[in-house]
Amino acid sequence: MNAIDQLISALLPYTEWAMLFLLLGGGLYLAISSGFKPYLYFKHAIDITRGKYDKEGATGEVSHWQALSSAIAATVGLGNISGVAIAIYLGGPGVIFWIWVTAVLGMVIKYYSCSLAVMFRAIDASGTAQGGPMYYMNAGLKQFGRPLAVFYSVFGMIGFLAIFQANQFTQTFMTVVSPNETLAGFGDFGWKLIIGLLLAGLTSLVIFGGIQKIAKVASRIVPTMVLIYFVAVLFVLLSNLGSILPSFKLIITEAFNFETAIQGGIWGVVILGARRAMFSNEAGLGSAPMYHGQSKTDEPIQEGLVAMLGPFIDTIVVCTITALVILLSGAYLEAETNGILMTLIAFKKTLFGFGDVILMIVVSAFALSTIFTYSYFGVKSLSYLTRSTKAGKYFNYFYIITIVIAAISSVDLVVNLMDLAYSLMLIPNMIAVLLLSPKVNAAARSYFQRFKANEL
């Protein structure tokens, strides 16, 4: 395992600069190219999501709300809890500012990519709508679209594994419950293996039901888990009102720490913020277009606007409140290990000693919802490579096995593997989105004209 981790760590620097350029530079270009319209139509995006503009007979499999819920279920999760902790642990409080910057740009990236997912979606042999990066690469970019789509799909089968969620759920359980002390002793490895097997079994019951079952489960779990987490965090923040503004000040000042800049480390903080934001909301990664490409709509721009809400919810809101709890509790000064432990310390300190138990319940819901939804992305990737939806479903067996492996692996190995796979997925996807962005701009001009004329 150590040899694999060292190899992955050696490869990461070669991909992170390309990732940074395409994610931040590409996002800024798209924001300017769009005339900032996606941000200006935020309320309209909410109206679309709640079904105000739904039409009978529209192509697709799931509603706007179900598509957004499924996409958020795959992103609002442990990336927002332990992912934020990892970012602060490695880069200090200032990294949160760069997570915000990446998330704002991520909103417009999702607007473009999910508009393209509907614009270029295909109907498979069973009559089901299929959308996602591989489809808009293939149909929109013609000659070199197919090689990009194949490259994306190959690394998608690695990036779309729920290994981080399984790993962090297991670490949370081992920390809070301490089964070796309270239950029969199987040793750390034995308990981690048992947890992994239980997670794999529970996941099997959901993921073999397909997109509609996943969407149904996700649309029920997401609101509940977010509400519980918000209530807990709101209580912490209200109990520590005097510490909120100093925490924000700490984030801003550390983001532009000139001493760090002179030492040449500020770009490391920016890269870390971009990586953790991408891990949190997956903007530029191409996962959300796979769900949004199956929405019941014939208006690509509508789905792009709905998708834009994802990074706002899971990064601007959820990541920020997690960061505030960690900073005002002082947990970032105490944790000596990477991952969920820092957040557990923060909640335990600020919620009368039992906050870690509440967090474990939330983490369970977050982890399960993400594990349930992620499998669908890998199935889509393999289906594209084999050009067979039946063959694609075999990915689920591989997916189940990796859940068990992740439960017994180190967090460093899991995080490095995900960062590498994400970067190698983002590169072809952002190239395609940038090249195809003029088509979205043309569709947007028509759509917003009709919207202003009340013709939708």
Q: What is the pLDDT of residues 359-395, one digit of tens each?
A: 777 777 777 777 877 787 888 888 888 887 777 778 8
260 belongs to a structural domain:
yes
31 belongs to a structural domain:
no
Rounded distance between C-alpha atoms, residue 138 and residue 425, angstroms: 15
196 belongs to a structural domain:
yes
Lowest mean pLDDT among 93-102, 216-225, 362-371: 216-225
Question: Which tokens sit at 189?
Answer: 């490895």
DSSP conformation class of 132: S
For residue 124, the model assigns a pLDDT of: 65
328 belongs to a structural domain:
yes
Q: In this predicted model, what pLDDT tens digit does every residue of 106-164 receive, in sequence order?
A: 899 999 999 999 999 877 666 667 788 998 998 899 888 899 999 999 998 998 888 88
> What residues make up the domain containing 279?
58-452
For residue 272, the model assigns a pLDDT of: 65
11 belongs to a structural domain:
no
Q: At what angle do helices 411-452 and 133-140 cross, to 10 degrees?
A: 60
Identify the band that residue 276 occupies on the pLDDT scale cut at 50, 70 and 90.
low
Instruction: Looking at mean pLDDT, say which of 49-58, 75-84, 337-346 comes out highest.
Output: 49-58
17 belongs to a structural domain:
no
Report which of residues 455 and 121 the model is more confident about. Answer: 121
- The enclosing domain of 154 has a CATH number of 1.20.1740.10
Average pLDDT over residues 403-416: 87
218 belongs to a structural domain:
yes
For residue 261, the model assigns a pLDDT of: 44
Average pLDDT over residues 245-271: 70
Q: Is the pLDDT of residue 439 over 90?
A: yes
For residue 109, the model assigns a pLDDT of: 93
Domain tally, the chain = 1
Question: Which tokens sit at 152?
Answer: 């994306």
Burial string for 260-293 (b: 16+ CB within 10 Å, else e) reads: beeeeebeebbbbbbbbbbbbbbbbbbbbbbbbb
Q: 75 with 329: CB under 8 angstroms?
A: no
Q: Is the pLDDT of residue 441 over 90?
A: yes
262 belongs to a structural domain:
yes
For residue 442, the model assigns a pLDDT of: 95
Question: If residue 122 lies in a helix (H) or strand (E), which one and from where to where?
Answer: strand 122-123
For residue 337, the model assigns a pLDDT of: 57
